[in-house]
Amino acid sequence: MDAYIIVLLAFGILVMLCAWLPLLLRKLPLSLPIACLVIGSAVFAMPNIPGVIPHPQEVLKLTERITELVVIVSLMGAGLKLDRALTWSTGGVTWRLLAFAMPVTILLLALLGYSLLGLSAAAALFLASALAPTDPVLASDVQVGPPHEGQEDEVRYALTSEAGLNDGLAFPFVNLAIAIALATSSQRDWLAHWFIFDVIWKLSAGLVIGVLVGYVLALITFRMPRRARLSRTGDGFVALGITAIAYSVTELAHGYGFLAVFVAALSFRAVERAHDFHDKLHEFTDRLERLLMAVLLVLLGGAITAGGLLKEVTWPVVLFAGLALLVVRPAVAYLSLWGRTESLRERLIISFFGIRGLGSIYYLAYGLGHATFHSEGLLWSAASLVIVGSIFIHGITVTPIMRLLDAGKSKSKQK
């Protein structure tokens, strides 16, 4: 049996499912990520399946690169979707979630990892930082709709903009954990170096380069002489070019590429916000993101059953995952929104949907490739259980909860 042909057949089936399943699951309390995870777990649990899905730790660089790709594509899609400009006044909820909820979530998860799982201070901070950001890939069901469709209520807008920004803003905390793990008694200036380089320089580079790349490419797309405008091509894969340029230029400048990609998308939209070409760009990124996500979640399911990804799950790990998903993020996010004018229902929904996903896997692979942390297997098992729990809990509840939100808005308009 030719393994290549079997893989090709499986890929073809997966592509068909990516197109078909969202239609079937639209009104059910299920999601495409749940289906892909279950399919991967079931298929690779069968005997005599050609090929073995390894533990991510065994293919660390490959894991980092493929998750990196799906995250940056998702970040571009999230930025292109936002019809409303993200400013200090329009992003009040977003800024609270980023400035208060994420750092406090990292602190509390680190304390749980240290006390409950017995991790070192560096490893506990590393795990907490990897799990803190809301995932832009798996959070698509709670984000705003495509450009120009008007699906931008405060809940969807906040969750979209939060997911777009906090993957880049979690990086300084991940790098702090790496710096602590690498620090020795002879390195007295490591904290200053981290603050100047990993906080000030990398954040600034990500923001500035993202704005410039988005603005310059938007001028080429919309403001060149008519016959030379890139928008006239109608090719949605231009979005992939914007993504790759923004990310690569920023990484070459030692900045945060995740932050630059999302900012570039915002900057690109700001130049010509109402143009129909944005619909083409979003459509391409949405389809590519969905396909990449499906492939990675099938592989994640296979890593669980064939690669032993959850083999170090114990009752303390289960408790850690439950507290992370159902207590820490909801409580801290809700507290961060204290005094806001949004309704109680809206604040509860925003607080609840702190979805964890493929971004966390990227951070784990990245960090473990740059420093040695004790209990690597435990880190993978704990993070993976949180991700799997998020896929099921949020995937099952997203359809009825968002339907309830929309029904409440309709009643308010009728009054």
Residue 64 has pLDDT above 80, yes or no: yes
- The architecture (CATH level 2) of 3-414 comes to Up-down Bundle (1.20)
Single out the residue of 340, 339, 354, 353 nearest to residue 105, CA to CA: 354
Q: For the ranges 17-26, 221-230, 277-286, which has the lowest average pLDDT? A: 17-26
Confidence band of 77 (pLDDT split at 50, 70, 90): very high
Amino acid letter, residue 289: E
Tell me the per-residue pLDDT of 252-297, one tens digit each, with 9 for 90 and over.
Answer: 999 999 999 999 999 999 998 888 889 899 999 999 999 999 999 9
Q: 């807008």: which residue's tokens?
A: 157
Which residues does 180 contact at the CB level (< 8 Å), separation at least 6? 121, 122, 125
Whole-number pLDDT of residue 49: 63
Instruction: Give the model confidence (pLDDT) of 338-357 as tens digits.
Output: 988 888 989 999 999 988 88
- Indicate the pTM of the whole model: 0.92
Q: Torsion angle of alpha carbons 346, 337, 353, 103, nearest 10°?
A: 170
What is the chain's mean pLDDT, rounded? Answer: 88
Contact between 309 and 55 (Cβ < 8 Å): yes
Identify which of 228, 209, 215, 210 has the alpha carbon closest to the alpha carbon of residue 272. 215
Token pair belonging to 126 = 């590393």
User: What is the reported pLDDT for 3?
Assistant: 66
Q: Which sequence spans correspond to the domains of the chain?
A: 3-414
pLDDT at 97: 94
Give per-residue burial for 121-158: e unless 16+ CB within 10 Å, then b: ebbbbbbbbbbbbbbbbbbbbbbbeebeeeebebbbbb
Residue 1: band (very low, low, confident or very high) from pLDDT cuts 50, 70, 90? low
Q: Tokens for 206?
A: 């990500």
Query: Token pair of 201, please?
Result: 């320089």
User: CA nearest 242: which of 270, 273, 271, 263?
Assistant: 263
Q: How far is CA 152 from the centre of its chain?
A: 19
Most confident listed range (50-59, 265-274, 351-360, 377-386):
377-386
Q: Is the pLDDT score of 231 beyond 80? A: yes
Provide the pLDDT confidence category of residue 414 given band limits of 50, 70 and 90.
low
- What does R_g of the chain's alpha carbons equal in angstroms? 21
The pLDDT of residue 9 is 82
Task: Please tell me the distance from the alpha carbon of residue 84 to that of residue 100, in angstroms, as a whole number.
Answer: 23
Which of 60, 188, 170, 94 minimizes the C-alpha distance to 125? 170
pLDDT digits (tens, 9 = 90+) for 169-210: 999 999 999 999 988 655 678 899 999 999 999 999 999 999
